Amino acid sequence: MQRYLFTSAGAVARLRAMTSTVELPLWLFVLILLFAIVTAASHLLFPSVRWFFRRRMERAVAQLNERLQRPIEPFKLAQRHDMIQRLIYQPDVTRAVSEYAREKGIPDAVAFEEARRYAREIVPSFSATMYFGVAIRLTRFFSRALYHVRVGFADEAAINALPKDATVVFVMNHRSNMDYVLVTYLAAQRSALTYAVGEWARVWPLSRLIRAMGAYFIRRRSQSDLYRRVLAAYVRLATEAGVTQAMFPEGRLSLDGAPQEPKRGLLKYITDAFDGFEEQGHDVVFVPVALNYDRVLEDRILLEAKARGGKGFRARISVILGFFVKQILLRFVGRYRKFGTAGVRFGHPLSLTEFVAGQARQESEDLAEPLSLELMERINAVVPVLSVPLVAAILQDAEAPMTLDEVKMVYDGHMVRLGDASEAAQDAGDEDATETGLRILVGRRMIAQEGDRYFRKENQDDELAFYANSVRHLLN
């Protein structure tokens, strides 16, 4: 009887404890409530919301693909997390992880996390809305606001007849960071481009925007073999999937304005995987793109970097903001003038399959080296000859001051001799192209004018050469 009473009393005590009031600080109650709401939303609401926006995005992409010459590939639309997982479990990456662990004397799990970190750094998070809804509008606005844009083709029929099942890679000379803006705008009707972007863009929030545009980050000076293997695997997967890409074989901006020797980097990742492409009947077509400007926005920054031996760019934010504020004010007062012409020419496409067949007869071991040289040769052959670069070259070669008529005579002689390469040289409006070049150079104090004669300034030789060098290889 006593045991029964004791047990009943214990049960009553426990019942009272379970139904008694518990006092909590208000901040702790709010924290618990928020945690409960987030947990419930992540399991119930968020999947539905993601499904809703995913469906809208798929419909928008389907509509976009109807007007694009090369539809957006499913590879670009894959979930970023899924793509990271797919990348790090590639057989060549897992082998690289094991080799890295043995070399460093660390557990495989630690090396695997290092590879995962590299994959998260490389893989983009493409947004069709951000690319076509925001980026294309911005690139069109800035391109048209800053320059008269001129486009030419060495073989337009070949560009329009590119195989639909081939991966297209636009390879370009690198004159300015404006290259990204200009080519993205011009390629808007063809496809969504994927760029390889250097370390300069890994700054928040710029990095988020660039990832959303489908670009992937690369470490140009990384000495880690594991990093290079992860990057090579990503480039191979993207190329196999038919992703339209854009890359700069020169690797970096030209510091003196002249064409540079190509670097094999990304091209080697593609050529090393060519056997796999060939087995699948998959071709890669390189389209050379040459760009040139009457004014390179960061020309003096590049020349300062050259004077320091190419060791980094020192661009102060205050100077950049001041430049744009000045241009806005000039627009308000009606004194704004565009920076001349931005010329773009598309060269003769190069099929990797045909190139490899030709190299086989020459028994070349490293395809990337002759391929990079061939592509740079095709790019340099179609560089647009604009008014400022050509006038700069004429005055740089002049032994004495020249009159306007004398400059025009030499200018017209070059135009006749260069033929198609000069098709982008004519400026917009009624102003003669020679006069445009002279006006811009005088306005930027790179040359001087006394009466009706023009001559170069000795302290501006590097600046004048920067523009002349862009066409010097064609004049010679």
- CATH number at 432 reads 1.10.10
Q: Which domain holds residue 467?
A: 387-475
* Least confident piece of the model among 51-60, 287-296, 444-453: 51-60
Q: Is the pLDDT of residue 95 over 90?
A: yes
Identify whether 193 is part of a domain: yes
Q: Which of 69-78, 230-239, 343-352 has the lowest mean pLDDT?
A: 69-78
Separation CA 78–CA 186 (nearest Å): 25
Position with higher pLDDT, 390 vs 330: 390
Q: What is the pLDDT of residue 17?
A: 58
Check pLDDT > 60 for residue 1: no
State mean pLDDT over 141-145: 90
Please choose, from the candidates 351, 255, 287, 39, the residue with its C-alpha nearest in 3D space to the C-alpha of residue 155. Answer: 287
Give the whole-angstrom CA distance, residue 95 versus residue 90.
9
pLDDT of residue 428: 42
pLDDT band at 312 (very low <50, low <70, confident <90, very high): low
Residues 367, 437 within the same domain: no
Same domain, 231 and 269: yes
Mean pLDDT, range 265-270, rounded to an integer = 90
Evaluate if residue 398 carries a pLDDT over 50: yes
Flag whether pLDDT at 141 surpasses 80: yes
Instruction: Decide if 176 is inside a domain.
Output: yes
The last residue of one of the domains, among 381, 415, 437, is 381
Query: Are 354 and 216 in the same domain?
Result: yes
Residue 5 has pLDDT above 50, yes or no: no
| Whole-number pLDDT of residue 186 | 86
| Mean pLDDT of all residues belonging to the chain | 82
Let me know whether 208 and 284 are in one domain. yes
Task: Examine the domain organization and report whether 246 and 357 are in the same domain.
Answer: yes
Residue 59 pLDDT = 63
Do the domain assignments include residue 261?
yes
Please indicate, yes or no, whether residues 181 and 285 belong to a single structural domain of this protein. yes
Q: What percent of the chain has pLDDT over 70?
A: 79
Residues 382 and 420: their CA atoms lie apart, in Å, by 8
Residue 101 inside a domain? The answer is no
Among candidate residues 141, 267, 244, 248, the one with its CA nearest the CA of residue 190: 244
Q: Is the pLDDT of residue 426 over 50?
A: no
Instruction: Report the chain's terminal Cα–Cα distance, integer Å.
Output: 116
| 255 plus 367 within the same structural domain | yes
CA distances from 234 to 118, 338, 398, 409, 455 (A): 11, 40, 51, 53, 52
Residue 313: partners with Cβ closer than 8 Å, 6 or more residues away: 200, 298, 301, 302, 304, 305
Per the model's pLDDT, the better-predicted residue between 284 and 40 turns out to be 284
Q: Which of 43-47, 304-308, 441-445 has the lowest mean pLDDT?
A: 43-47
State which of 51-60, 189-198, 243-252, 430-439 shows the largest mean pLDDT: 243-252
- Does 87 reside within a domain? no
Whether 61 has a pLDDT exceeding 50, the answer reads yes
Within this chain, do residues 448 and 345 fall inside the same structural domain, yes or no?
A: no
Tell whether 255 and 317 lie within a shared domain. Answer: no
> Do 339 and 257 form a contact (C-beta atoms < 8 A)?
no
CATH of the domain at 181: 3.40.1130.10
**Residue 232: is its pLDDT beyond 50?**
yes
Q: Looking at the structure, do residues 359 and 444 belong to the same domain, yes or no?
A: no
Task: Determine phi and psi for 402, rounding to 5 degrees.
Answer: -125, 145
Q: What is the pLDDT of residue 429?
A: 43
Pairing of strands 216-217, 447-450: unpaired
Residue 6 lies in a domain: no
Instruction: Give a yes or no: residue 72 inside a domain.
Output: no
Structural domain tally of the chain? 4
Please check whether residues 222 and 179 belong to one and the same domain. yes
In a domain, residue 107? The reply is: no
- Please determine, for residue 57, whether its predicted confidence score (pLDDT) is greater than 60: no
Is the domain of 197 the same as that of 244?
Answer: yes
- pLDDT value at residue 205: 56
